[in-house]
Amino acid sequence: MNASAGYDPERLAICADAIAGAARNFAALGWTPATSSNFSMRLDSGHVAITVSGRDKGQLGREDIMVVDMHDQPVGEHKRPSAETALHTQVYRRLPETGAVLHTHSRTQSVASRLFASDKRVRLQGWELQKAVSGYATHDSTLDIPVFANTQHMPELVDQVDAWLDSGQPLHGYLIDGHGLYTWGRSIDEARRHLEALEFLLGCELDLRRLRS
Ligand SMILES: [Zn+2]
């Protein structure tokens, strides 16, 4: 343990390398344009490793990952965490089994968020790849991805996510209108699977809309 900061620096190094590896992959796919997007992993019950604000997500090193507590405060460093840190810590607090949170700004996610904003959700039904999301064993299921209104005032976004969770509906990811996608998993590998599946499914929904119009 790091006696002054209260977290294990070896665990931080492992998480930082895992985040950087995943981020390189997402950047190569064009999902993190112009230094957007942010990624995090749970270090322990009280600490989260998260990307520093404004860095190129295709070239992250260990120095680009910092530690915050569950109330968004930097721990043991003077870097500035992502502006959306509160959306990450919210997921770790509300869904305690979560081990990693991923947020990207792909073109598909951005367009889908605008197109489905008036419906306030994207309803996924009948797609085999719904089974890539933990808890979904068949295509014959309904997977709702809510679309929340965008704002630069994080507490308003946190409130929208809280309201959805408080309503008792399952939540595996959400879109923010004109912005991008949040998803998560028990491990970073599960979170990556969810992100890849949702990106693919949103792209399919957009294609269907195009082809049917
Ligand atoms: Zn964002």
Ligand 1: centre distance to CA 104 (Å)? 7
Query: Which stretches does DSSP call E strand in 86-132?
Result: 100-104, 121-125
Average pLDDT, the chain: 94
pLDDT digits (tens, 9 = 90+) for 15-73: 999 999 999 999 999 999 998 899 999 999 999 999 998 899 999 999 999 999 999 99
pLDDT digits (tens, 9 = 90+) for 133-152: 998 988 989 999 999 999 99
pLDDT at 1 over 70: no
pLDDT digits (tens, 9 = 90+) for 145-178: 999 999 999 999 999 999 999 999 999 999 999 9
* C-alpha Rg value of the chain to the nearest Å: 17
Ligand 1: centre distance to CA 178 (Å)? 10
Q: Could you give phi then psi for residue 181, rounded to 5 degrees? A: -120, 140
Instruction: Identify the pLDDT of residue 22.
Output: 97
pLDDT digits (tens, 9 = 90+) for 102-128: 999 999 999 999 999 999 999 999 999
Ligand 1: centre distance to CA 32 (Å)? 9
pLDDT at 2 over 60: no
To 10 degrees, what angle do helices 188-212 and 9-28 make? 20
